[in-house]
Amino acid sequence: MSKRNKLQKFAELLSFPNVYENFDARQPSLSGPNGAPIDLRGKWAEQHFGNAQPLTLELACGRGEYTLGLAKRYPERNFIGVDIKGARIWKGAHLALNEGLTNVAFLRTRIEQIALFFAPQEVAEIWITFPDPFLRESKANRRLTSPFFIAQYRRILAPNGIVHLKTDEPNLYAFTLETLAADAATTLLYSDDDIYARPLPFPELELKTYYEQMHLAEGKTIKYVRFGI
């Protein structure tokens, strides 16, 4: 994508009513439509969605394919896609507006800051779909199922809240299971290293992102972990 196209999309994001952005990683502040400052921590359902429906996050959402798919499948829930890449968020937010999906929003921020923008117990579920596995051991703490990130999720999840990981990467899958086994406060609810080898246990696993379709075409198996924290 050319620099001009990226800049155009960044400018358009400012006008989207379903996108909120954090422009300075050192400051826990959000900007809403037209750059207006807004504080939604603890108030996402009431102030943005205008209801009291449960809230689900998709972290590292990319173009928001899973966010949009879940929102269509579960109109009685609210969904927020979270990513740092504005050009990717533009795609999902644009589609949501065109399709009239009022139960979808997007948050542009670094995921390590997630607890700054959601209140304790505000989030019911978290989806992590095909994240960067950070295979180098020196970057293990950047994996989205590392102890650091699990601690952040624990700060915002409601009681009985659930985290889902969907990945093609066997090392990330194994790392996640090891991390959960070492954390007495987590509960492994389900795991499978090849979800399509048998009937799917949860209907939302039918949704496939662009990257998942690409992985499947390459003959890779898709792994899934479901856990409570």
Residues 168, 215: contact at Cβ < 8 Å?
yes
The two tokens of residue 30 are 């959000």
Active site residue 194: no
User: Which of 83, 132, 168, 194 is labelled catalytic?
Assistant: 132
C-alpha count within 13 angstroms, C-beta hemisphere, residue 218: 11
Separation CA 158–CA 54 (nearest Å)? 10
Phi, psi of 77 (to 5 degrees): -125, 160
- Give me the sheet containing 104-108, strands edge to edge: 37-38, 30-31, 19-21, 104-108, 78-83, 55-59, 123-129, 157-167, 223-228, 187-192
Residues with catalytic function? 132
